[in-house]
Amino acid sequence: MSGYTPDEKLRMDQLIKLRRQWLRDQELSPREPVIKPKAPGAIEKFWSNFLQPRSLWRLYTYKAYTAGVFTFTRLLIPAWVVHYYVKYHVATRPYGIVGVKPRLFPGDTILETGEVVPDLPESHH
């Protein structure tokens, strides 16, 4: 006996046809899924109006952002660098920055307080 019996062949053809139909049914049309859109809630409605592309708040936010970036990068950072350089490298003010403290000897006057350094006590050795 070679090949399928007529009943087996009919059954195989039916299965093949059903599988093909099932695969075709899995493809969605452009109109699917057919679900009614739900009404937006209060928060969703607010954000949908708030995030419109040419809304006034976006323009002002952009202007504030660009002004802030300009201020920070072109004014504050360079001012800080100049201030640092002048304070620690150029300042000629006395005692503004002291690299090495000057030596004090008996009888010298301390400039900050005006005190006079007392003489060393006499010792036996």
Average pLDDT by stretches of 10, the chain with 125 residues: 87 96 90 84 85 82 93 96 85 63 84 87 74
Residue with tokens 């640092």: 84
- pTM value > 0.75: no
Hey, what's the torsion of the CAs at 22, 24, 30, 35, to 10 degrees? -10
User: In 3D, which of 97, 118, 95 has the Cα closest to residue 106?
Assistant: 118
What was the pLDDT predicted at 37?
83
What was the pLDDT predicted at 104?
83
Grouping H, G, I as helix, E, B as strand and the rest as coil, residue 55 is coil
What was the pLDDT predicted at 1?
61
What was the pLDDT predicted at 95?
56
